[in-house]
Structure 1
Amino acid sequence: MYSILLVDDEQDIRQSIVELVQWEKMGFRIVGEASNGIEALEVMEENVPDILITDIRMPIMDGIELTKRVREKNPSVKIVFLSGYDDFEYAVDGIKLNILEYLLKPISINDLEKMLNKVRGKLDLEKKEANDLARIEKDYLEKIEAIKMSFLVSLITDNYNNITETELQKMIETYQLNLSGERQVLLNVNIDSTSFKKNYHENQNLELIKFSLTNTIRQIVQKYLNGEVFSFMSNIIVILSDTKENIELYTDIVVKEISESAQKIFGFSVEIGISEEYEGMSATKRAFQSSVSALSYRLLIEKNKGIYISDLETGNQQELVFDEANEVKLASLIKIGATEELEAFIDYLFLSFGTSNEGQEHIQIFLMELYMAVLRASKSVISKYDSDMLHYIQMISDICHYQEMNIIKEWFKDYCLSVIDKIQMQRKKKTDSIAKQSYDYLYDHYDDPSISLKSVSKEMLISPSYFSSLFKKENGLSFTEALVKIRMEKAKEYLLTTDHKIFEVAMSSGYTDQHYFSYCFKKYFGESPNKIRETFKKMSY
């Protein structure tokens, strides 16, 4: 059964639709109603529907703006427009809103039910195609393009230092790949094994399910950006390649829709490691490595979320050594602060290495390699090398000469734990600083009508999704709640200390629409702007 949110400013139309349609019989249920876009977004904070049916022309926030907001936050929601004839061309010519259906007013229940049957058919087909493993297996065997796949895999595994970008682009054209954009981002999609096991039996073919997920991801990407999607080992790799503007505008939307679609269609979570933006296909291998590094943080991030490497590690990092699995694991445990797993892994490393019977030089080299691995891991998170680096190197020399292996192991554990403390302290300072800076930024720019979570996150140089969770965690309010609070407090101050007209107060507080301002003000304070001003004046006499 599919859930529906109904949005229309005419209550009698909403009421007629709700009462006259046999929702459950048709396979639907109404999870909420709203009279404008603002109310709809508030409903969706608690209950995200499968389908949003919305009028185009509404006060406060119309259907076009509502759709843009929904596409940014919940891009997997299917949207149906209710529109008058005059609005139809406007809706069709809008930006990439991916509207599922249009229904022209005046609406008859017969037309509405036909449209609902059509929508249900599309959604049923989407689920059926995603889970039709027999058909998927046939497609899998028929559509493998071995040469193209080999080239794509080589982009993330081989060095192309001796090949010019022009030569690489010729190869891309030869294989007819959508990788000719000016800017690229690489997404590394990992299926969460725990949630997968909860929903699928052991005898079900993971490869076929992954193939179906790959097709779903490819369809999502094609709606917004140019790029290529392919499997690599147990993961799915997405290389987005488009204009700088489109990459910035749609990457976060693509990441969110992949996450939501995996959960809704397949019933399991995915983690997505997201590289930094880069130019030139020869940098794809490094981007892949940074996406792997991003995935190593998945224990720190909520499930089914995108993990941007730029949110968690400083830029200009040196290429990590991924050939040595032990170093990668050691670095990952250090970065995420998994102390118990770290100590157990160090025990394993020292046990694998041998006993104190090894020569001093051999032990010293082994410990130096471990120390440098930790140093490289900390460098990717802490922007400056430890000032005591030479001191530690001298200690390594001394401890290897005079102490037994168990003592050396415990010393190394203590050193790793001290690095974890420094990383967590540095990360806390960074998040506190970003939270404070962003709140201060709102105070300084609240009167800018165009200010948004996306624009402020861009100022803070982090992704919108990470910024949103960080802002709420550190400030106790969501970005929208904080912005409304600041604007309302400033608006009240203007009302009580100046003779400005209401529309002037609205403009000074960051609102271009006086009616929308009055609506928000009354909702926040419980009284209209004029009423509060009148009450204050009476109390002053």
Structure 2
Amino acid sequence: MKVLIVDDGYYIVEYLKHLLDWKEFGVNQVETTTNSIEAKRMLKESSADILITDIRMPEVSGIDLLEYVGELKLKTKVIFLSGYSEFEYAQKAIRLGAFDYLLKPVDKDDMEKVIRDVTKVIEESQPEGDTAWEPYDSLGYLLAALSENESLIQEFKPIYNGFEQNPMCFFRLSPADRIEEGKLRETLEGFNAYIWAAPPSLAGIVPESETQKLKAVIPSITLSEAFQFNLKDSVRYSFYQFFYQEEVGPNDFSLLRNKEEFSKLESRKWECSGQRIQKEFPKLMNRKQRVIYLLEVIHYLYLTNDNLRAEEVLEWIIHRLEDPCEAYEYVILTISRLGKEADLSNEDIIDNVRKYIVSHIDEALSLEDLGRIVHLHPVYLSKFYKQETGENLSSYILFKRLERASKLLIESNLHVVDISHMVGYKKSQYFIKLFKERYGVTPQQYRKQQIKLK
């Protein structure tokens, strides 16, 4: 779970951040900000499970943040911080949908009680089974849209309905200082847009409908022609023309088809793929071909190893690829580094994932958790597992949960509710439903049958 703490007092947010042992409550990430405008951006780019916010702040109040959570249709639970003079105001906020409020100065026991209550509600409201099987990654989505590999785009799903059909534009702002960045984020507030930092530049994707407003507020911003993500040729044409001043057409991407190095990258065969790239790159006739080729390589590198950070990839795309020969050197060095670091075969990866699942069968296993163990992008891990084993990762987790449950039913006198919790299901009725679908009988009936067979 993730917590965001917002207060215009620096010492208050630091006090609250270190007040509790957050891991005890299932919280693995605590972010803070003293800027309530920044808080809106943080909520939009990566929503929090719990928002703890001062009820009165300059520019954007806690009530404003509560309303913003509602506008974005987030499941974030909001807890207000208020003084005694704001007591009635806080009670009103509860009626508007806040989860609870805490009076300043915040007492540790009061904070523990509220956090225990809110985390319990969040856990009970989460869907059963395995969570976060479709993590959203805007950079990964862009790379998949540009890639020749058609199957990859299906792995990434935009979080906004209708996003793919909306006319969008690429933008670039260079150099970008904090004032211009603030204007950019404020102008785009409430819109489906992506902003990526590639110092000294900002780049990203904005709705075409907002481009005139952006130009008026930030005259130095540059914008591409409009495109739609559901039209691959449209995305590619705008992207390559805008960032690299290269006009591309469908035939330009034929050079990416049936290339052995891409399959080797996908299989994490670093040495072989590096050798192939060093052989193929010098054959490319012009700058356009080299940029197209290297961008495909970068996409596979980004997917197949999470040690390659998004910031590093953005720096390559926005800056290095303007000179393909320079970018090529960075790519080869990275592949060489990955080859030296790699100590896991495909079989090892599958084995490590399965061992982790078995030892954490009582937890809400996510693709992010599993991907982190084997250094794979979470979206790619799902695809990789299916390729290597022929089954979905979620199916394997379900199998191991129910297998463990069947053994506990036979070997112990534990209640079905307790067994349900021990294999990762908080709602026993859902567990019983899944168990019956697999074994044809309820857990209680299964236990009775097995006792008779002994």
- For normalisation by structure 1, the TM-score amounts to 0.34
- Larger RCO (CA under 8 A, 6+ residues apart): 2
Larger Rg: 1
